[in-house]
Structure 1
Amino acid sequence: MSRRSKVLSGALITSALLLTPLGLGGVAASSTPSAAVVHTGHTMALSTASSPEDPDGDGYIPANPPVTGGTPSTQNPPHRYFHEFQANCSVSHTRPDDPIVHPQQPGKSHDHTFMGNTTTNASSTTATLSAGGTTCKAPGDRSGYWMPTLYNGDKPVLPVGPQVIYYKAGVTDYTSVRPFPKGLRFVVGSPMQSADEFRRHPGFVEGWECGDSFFNTEFPASCPSRPDVQLNIRFQAPSCWDGRYLDTPDHKSHMAYPVVKPGTNDNICPAGHPVALPMIEFKTAFPVNGDMSKVRLASGLGHSFHYDFFNAWDDRTLKALVDHCVVGGLQCDARGYDETHPEAGAALGTDYRLP
C-alpha cells in the first residue's frame, strides 16, 4: 500500500472502520500533530511522530513478513473449558510516557504504570524492549504492559506483586491461535470513552470491583476497610489480527474482537482480521479501600481506564506456551503447568525458562 493510499484529505475516520476488512486505506494519517481519529463520538490524537520503526511518521508499521491469504477458522474442536496461561508481571516504574501513542515524545502522555519490561519509555522500540529486563516470572517475556496510574488524592497507588495477565483463546477454535508477531502493539479502550462506552466495550468483563461490589463503571464510593480487600479490574483485549500491520495510526484498526458465526454460538475472527492471536486479559488489583472519594486515574474518572501492550516476547518461549497451553486446551500458570493435568508436563522449566 502506498503512502498516498493511506492518507485521506480529512483527518477523521469513524469507529465503523475498526471492523472494515482492511479498508485501512480509509484510515486517516495526517502530517499535522493535531490529526484526530473518531471513536464512537470521541476523539483521540493520531500518532504522527516519526520513530526508528516508523521513519515517515505515518503511523503504519508493516509486519515483516505479513500473514496473507488466510481465512478465519470456523472449526469447532473438542470442547475444553480452559485454553490459557498466565504472564505474572509486577510493576516496574511509572512515567508520563507512551511509546505507542506518543513515540519519541517523553513527558507527552498522562502518567502510566508500567509492568513487565523495566526499560519501557517514550523511545522504546521492539529492539530496545527485546534487549531490556523484565519483572515477569518468565524471563522470556520482555513485553511492555502499561495503564494509567491510579491515584488516591495525589498519592500513586501501585499494584503490589505479580499481577495476572491472562493469555487466552478468544475464538472457539482454540487450536487456530498462533503467537503474537514480534513488535505487535495496540491500545485497548480509550481515555476519552464515555461511561456508557466503557460499560458496553467488548473487552468489559467485570469493571471495577471491591468487596461485594461488581460491574462498576466508576470507582465505588467506598470499599470494605479490610486487609483482604483491594480495588480490582478485569478487561480483555481484541485477539484477531489483520496480518499486515504491527501498528496503525489509531493503534486499534489492525486488531478486532471475535464475532459470532451466524447461526451458531461460535466465536470466529472477522474476515478482515482473520489471524487468531492470544486474547490478553488484564486482571489487576490496587491496594486501596475504605473511602474511595479521592480515587482517580491519571486519565480521569474510572471509565477512562485503558491499557497498552507492546509484544517483545522471546519467540520460542511464547510459542511453547501458546502451543502447550492455549492450543493444548490447558489452564496453565506462568511456566505452562496445569496442576489438574500433571501428566501434560510444563512448557517451561522450574526457572520459567525453556528447558
Structure 2
Amino acid sequence: MARKSSLLFGGLLAAALAPVTVGMLPLGHAAYTVPAAHAGHHAVPVPSGDDPDGDGYIPANPPVTGVVPSHGDPPHRYFHEFQANCAYTHHQPDDPIVYAGQPGASHDHTFMGNTTTAANSTTASLSAGGTTCRAPGDKSGYWVPTMYNGSTLVTPNFPQVIYYKTGVLDYTSVRPFPKGLRFVVGSPTATADQFMHNPGTVEGWECGNSFKNADIPPTCPAGTQLNVRYQAPSCWDGRYLDVPDHKSHMAYPVNGICPDDHPVALPMIEFKMAFPVSGDMSQVRLSSGRGYSFHYDFFNAWDPATQKALVDHCVVGGLQCDARGYDQTHPEAGAALNENYELP
C-alpha cells in the first residue's frame, strides 16, 4: 500500500505543477504555444469505466505472481518479431489513458487501430469496436501527437508498422500482453537529450539522408516522407494494468534482463511512424510541441488467442513475421494466421 500511495502522490504533485509552455522554435520555424491545459502528460485521475474509484490504479485480475526475471540463453536468432499494420482512423483532442473520461482535455492525437478510441474508451468498448489493423483480432488503440504543416493536418496515408519484438535476451520468456494493459512511451515535456537517450532504442527523426535527429529536420527531399521510430519498455510488474503516471508499472530491461520488480517479459513495441510531408519543413510541428516531444500511447485490446498465437510463433519462435505471422525466409514454419489474418 505504501508503494501505491507514493506513486499516487507523485502523480498528483505533477498535476499540480504549472503547465509547460513551449516557446519559440529555431530560426525558420513558426512560433506556437501548447495550450496550458494540454501541455503535460500528468492528470489528476478521475473515475472512469476501467477505474471506477478514480485513484489511477487498475489492478490486473488476476495478477501475475511467482515470476522471476529470466537469465536464460536460448539459441541465437537474429529476428523475433511480428508486425501490426494499422491505418489512421481519426484525430481529436482526447487521451483515454492520461485524460480518461475527459473529452477534449488533451492535446490533439492521431489515432490508429481501433476505430472507436476516444476519451471514454474502456477495455470493453475497445473490444467491441472495429479496427483498421490487418489482423481483425487486434482492436488495440494506438495513438501519437497529431502533426501539422502550418495549419494543415498531416496524417499517415497507409498502414503504419508497429513492431512486436523481444526486449530481453531470453526471447522464449516473452508472454502476451494482458488485456487492458495500457501505458505511455516518452513524454511531451522531454528535452532533446531525454528523447534521444531514452533507455529504449530511439532512432529519432529521419528523411532522405538525414538520420537520428532529435527534432524535425528543417528540410526533407521532395517526395520523401518523415519517419520516426521509438521503442517501448517491455518488462511489467505483473500487478497493474495502469498506474497514475501511466509508466511505472512498466520498465525497460537492463542488459537484456527484466529488473526484479518488473519481472514479467512482454512484447517490446516499436512504433515506426511515416508522415507524408516533405520539402520545406519549417512549419511542421506536433500538437505536443517540438519534434522531441514525440510520444505514444498503447491500450491493449487484442483478442487473447490471436495475440498469443503470434507471440508464440514469431517472438518465442525466433522468426521475422509479417502481420499474418509468416516469415518469408522460413516458409517451412508456416503462418500463425490464415489469409484473412485470423486464427485458422
TM-score (structure 2 length as normaliser): 0.91
Output the amino acid matched with 1:232.
N
SS of the counterpart of 2:314?
helix
CA shift, 1:239, in A, is 0.3
Residue ranges of structure 1 left out of the alignment (5+ in a row): 6-22, 261-266
In the other structure, the counterpart of 2:33 is: none
CA distance 1:233–1:340, shift in 2 (3 Å): same
Output the amino acid matched with 1:27.
L
Identity of aligned residues (%): 71
In the other structure, the counterpart of 1:292 is: 281
In the other structure, the counterpart of 1:251 is: 246
CA distance 1:217–1:277, shift in 2 (3 Å): same
In the other structure, the counterpart of 1:35 is: 15
In the other structure, the counterpart of 2:34 is: none
CA shift, 1:171, in A, is 0.2
In the other structure, the counterpart of 2:263 is: 274
Cα deviation digits, residues 212-248 of structure 1 (max 9, x gap): 00000011110111x3x10000000000000000000
Choose from 40, 62, 65 the match for 2:62: 65
4+ residue runs over 3 A deviation: 29-38
Match status 1:322 vs 2:311: yes
Output the amino acid matched with 1:26.
S
C-alpha distance in 2 between matches for 1:232 and 1:339: 25
Residue ranges of structure 2 left out of the alignment (5+ in a row): 19-38
Match status 1:349 vs 2:344: no
Choose from 142, 145, 150 the match for 1:145: 142
Match status 1:26 vs 2:6: yes
SS of the counterpart of 1:317?
helix
Cα deviation digits, residues 155-197 of structure 1 (max 9, x gap): 1100111110000000000000000000000000010111111
CA shift, 1:30, in A, is 7.9
C-alpha distance in 1 between matches for 2:321 and 2:287: 33
C-alpha distance in 1 between matches for 2:340 and 2:17: 44
RMSD: 1.8
C-alpha distance in 1 between matches for 2:303 and 2:40: 35
C-alpha distance in 2 between matches for 1:141 and 1:49: 27
SS of the counterpart of 2:308?
helix
C-alpha distance in 2 between matches for 1:326 and 1:37: 41
SS of the counterpart of 1:45?
coil
CA shift, 1:49, in A, is 1.0
C-alpha distance in 2 between matches for 1:44 and 1:295: 22
Assess if the C-alpha contact under 8 Å between 2:11 and 2:245 holds in 1: no
TM alignment of 1:1-355, pairs within 5 A: 1=1, 5=2, 23-29=3-9, 35-36=15-16, 44-225=41-222, 227=223, 229-260=224-255, 267-355=256-344
C-alpha distance in 1 between matches for 2:57 and 2:17: 14
C-alpha distance in 1 between matches for 2:97 and 2:17: 15
